[in-house]
Amino acid sequence: VQLQASGGGLVQAGGSLRLSCAASGSIFTVNDMGWYRQAPGKQRELVAATTRDGTINYQDSVKGRFTISRHNANNTVTLQMNSLKPEDTAVYYCNAICQIQDSRGFVRTRLYWGQGTLVTVSS
């Protein structure tokens, strides 16, 4: 299973970016999907997450500015980021909880991470 993230870049404060992440491989079902971020010198933190049935959770600091959405048909999740602030600067990681079949044929639940994409917001 691989998660491929894209869409990061440099933007001025007040601007917008859209991040996308696609899960691929031998997947039975993708359950929760989400975005985390890690700023220099800080711990990784949840930005937004969504369950398969559409229940969504946002970090308080991004509510009203960021929108997470997913497309179950192609196992993708996007993060629309508006009104960006310098404090949003970080490496953004997508993750997904997937049901996969192991080498013995058993269905397992595993957490996978994307490679990270850098978002830089200049003041």
> Residues 8-35: pLDDT tens digits?
999 999 999 999 999 999 898 999 999 9
**CB crowding 23-60: b at 16 or more within 10 Å, else e:** beeebeebebbbbbbeeeeeeeeebbbbeeeeeeebee
pLDDT of 100:
92
pLDDT of 102:
84
Predicted confidence (pLDDT) per residue in 87-104, tens digit: 999 999 999 999 998 889
Residue with tokens 């269905």: 107
Residue 105 pLDDT exceeds 90 = no
Q: How far apart are CA 26 and CA 63, in angstroms?
A: 34
Mean pLDDT (the chain, rounded): 96
pLDDT of 42:
96
